[in-house]
């Protein structure tokens, strides 16, 4: 049994925010394999269980806000009796360009409140994490406001492809292990210019021509 967790904030208010990218990816994964979600009051989250390829896996979305999500993750992990290497946590990352994905077997929280909570409640940072880039806030913009904002129109057009790629990365982790998955997905080259930068450039050129 493996456990894949998508981090996000519950509620319609946050449904399409950058901080909910972990929820979006794990929903994509469940849809691809025809899995359904059930609310679990004991472990404070939504659970979906089934086979992803040959591997029996449990998907989980904590129903607690991001800074408390580790409580739910720790509860379910203890109940399932899983080792830390059987766990993969999916989250957004403002330290990566939009569209970049990075999978690692360990690491710090990187300033992410959800990862910080998971680390504290697991008592270890040695668990797999799939970080998905959402880009950085504009100069002077509060990072807390940025992560709770919705994606730009150009980014939204790429969101489906990004979630599909991240879901494929999760399945590769299940079937091939961490090492081969890192070699495959962490080598993705950066785009010359991010979508958000292109939109800013268009706006700047428009003003110059007015």
Active site members: 19
DSSP string, 35-95: ---EEETTTTEEEEEEEETTEEEEEEEESS-GGGHHHHHHHHHHHHT--GGGEEEEEEETT
Q: Give, for 21, the enclosing helix (H) or strand (E).
A: helix 21-32
Strand 87-93 relative to strand 55-62, pairing: unpaired
| Beta-carbon contacts of residue 181 (< 8 Å; ≥ 6 apart) | 103, 169, 172, 173
Closest CA to 22 of 88, 71, 74, 77: 88
């Amino acid at each position: 049994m493996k456990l894949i967790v998508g981090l996000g904030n519950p509620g319609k208010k946050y449904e399409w925010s950058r901080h909910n990218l972990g929820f979006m990816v794990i929903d994509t994964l469940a849809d691809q394999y025809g899995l359904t979600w059930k609310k679990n009051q004991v472990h404070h989250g939504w659970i979906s269980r089934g086979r992803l390829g040959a591997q029996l896996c449990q998907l989980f979305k904590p129903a607690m806000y991001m800074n408390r999500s580790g409580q739910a993750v720790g509860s379910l992990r203890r109940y399932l009796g899983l080792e830390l290497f059987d766990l993969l946590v999916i989250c957004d990352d403002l330290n990566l360009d939009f569209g970049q994905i990075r999978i690692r077997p360990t690491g710090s929280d990187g300033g992410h409140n959800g990862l910080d909570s998971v680390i504290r409640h697991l008592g270890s940072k040695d668990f797999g994490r799939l970080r998905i880039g959402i880009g950085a806030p504009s100069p002077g913009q509060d990072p807390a406001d940025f992560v709770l904002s919705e994606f730009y129109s150009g980014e939204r057009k790429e969101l489906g492809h990004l979630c599909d790629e991240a879901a494929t990365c999760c399945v590769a982790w299940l079937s091939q292990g961490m090492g081969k998955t890192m070699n495959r997905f962490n080598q993705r080259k950066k785009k010359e210019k991010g979508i958000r930068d292109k939109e800013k450039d268009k706006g700047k050129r428009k003003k110059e021509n007015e």
